[in-house]
Amino acid sequence: IAQPFTVIVSGTEAHAHMNQKEIYLKSNNIPGADGETALKNLPEALPHAFDLFLNAVVSGKNENLVPVREAAYRSTVMEAIYKAVSEKSWVTVKPYSN
């Protein structure tokens, strides 16, 4: 089965899609983000999240890690999404704050 896009992300001010090798961004607020030209000069990918975690445990530096409260909030949002789907209704989630 053909899989032309591996990721599609849509937002209110931009959307992006990615195929096996390239990422495309469409936004009126970002110069050159026409949605048809692949993005170039992207930063190198970070190591896997588990490797980042282990490095933080060993070194004591938590660079590139999501803060614990933010990670918990993401789980709260996912729970709300599942609840909304199962109940076929809107679910209110309190905004995240530090």
pLDDT, tens only, 3-24: 777 899 999 999 999 988 899 9
Tell me if the pTM is above 0.85. no
CA 6 distance to own-chain centroid: 13
Q: How many domains does the chain have?
A: 2
- The SS3 of residue 10 is strand
Average pLDDT, the chain: 91
Q: Is residue 2 part of a domain?
A: no
For residue 54, what pLDDT is reported? 94
Q: What residues make up the domain containing 75? A: 49-87
Determine the average pLDDT of the residues in 33-54.
92
Do 54 and 80 fall within a single domain?
Answer: yes
For residue 1, what pLDDT is reported? 64
Residue type, 56: A
Q: Is residue 95 part of a domain?
A: no
Q: Is residue 30 part of a domain?
A: yes
Q: How would you classify the pairing of strands 15-18 and 23-26?
A: antiparallel
Do 54 and 28 fall within a single domain?
Answer: no
